Chains A and B, each alone.
Chain A
Amino acid sequence: MKTPILEIEDLCARVADKEIIKGFSLTINEGEVHAIMGPNGAGKSTLSYVLCGKPGYEVTSGKILFKGKNLLRMTPEERAREGMFLIMQYPVDIPGVPVTTFLKHAVNAVRKHQNLPELDTMEFIKLVREEGKKLGISNDMLKRPVNVGFSGGEKKRLETLQMAILKPRFAILDEADSGLDIDAMKVVADGVNAERNEHNALLVITHYQRLLNYIVPDFVHVFADGHIVKSGGKELATELEETGYAQFVKEK
Chain B
Amino acid sequence: MAKENNKPEIIDESGDKYKYGFVTDIAADTAPRGLSEDIIRLISAKKGEPEWLLERRLKAFEFWKTMSEPSWAKLTYDKINYQDLYYYSAPKQKAAPKSLEEVDPELLETYAKLGIPLKEQEALAGVVAVDAVFDSVSVATTYRAKLAEKGIIFCSISEAVKNHPELVQKYLGSVVPYTDNFFACLNSAVFTDGSFVYIPKGVKCPMELSTYFRINAKNTGQFERTLIIADEDSYVSYLEGCTAPQRDENQLHAAIVEIVILKNAEVKYSTVQNWYPGDKDGKGGVYNFVTKRAACRGENSKVSWTQVETGSAVTWKYPSCILQGDNSSGEFYSVAITNNRQQADTGTKMIHIGKNTTSKIISKGISAGRSNQTYRGLVKVSPGAGNARNYSQCDSLLIGDACGSHTVPYIENRNKTARLEHEATTSKISDEQLFYCLQRGIGAEEAVSLIVNGFCKEVMQHLPLEFAIEAAKLINISLEGSVG
Contact = CB atoms under 8 A, between A and B. Distances in A.
A106 B441 contact: yes
Interface string B438-458: 111111101000110111111
B2 to A, nearest CB: 21
B443 A96 contact: no
B294 to A, nearest CB: 28
Contacts of B455: 95-96
A148 to B, nearest CB: 9
Interface string B445-484: 0100011011111100000000000000000000000000
Interface in B58-107: none
How many chain B residues sit at the interface, stated as a range, is 20 to 34
Contact of B440 (A93, A113, A145, A166): A166
A145 B438 contact: no
A245 B436 CA distance: 31
A81 B439 CA distance: 9
Of B432, B438, B451, chain A has the most CB atoms within 10 Å of the CB of: B438
A80 B454 contact: no
A104 to B, nearest CB: 10
Contact of A54 (B435, B442, B443, B450): B435
A109 B446 contact: yes
Contacts of B430: 92
A232 interface: no
A94 B438 CA distance: 13
Contacts of A52: 435, 439
Contact of B439 (A56, A86, A96): A86
A162 B454 contact: no
B431 interface: yes
A76 B438 contact: yes
Interface string A39-55: 00000000000001111
Given A97-B451, A105-B446, A109-B446, A77 B433 contact: no
Contacts of B433: 92-94
Contacts of A75: 438
Contact of A101 (B432, B441, B443, B450): B450
Interface of B: 430-433, 435-444, 446, 450-451, 453-458
Given A55-B435, A92-B433, A97-B450, 6 more contacts: A52-B439, A76-B438, A92-B432, A96-B458, A106-B437, A106-B440
21 contacts: A53-B438, A54-B439, A55-B431, A76-B435, A76-B439, A77-B441, A80-B439, A80-B440, A91-B436, A93-B433, A94-B437, A95-B455, A96-B453, A96-B456, A96-B457, A97-B453, A97-B454, A105-B437, A106-B441, A106-B442, A109-B446
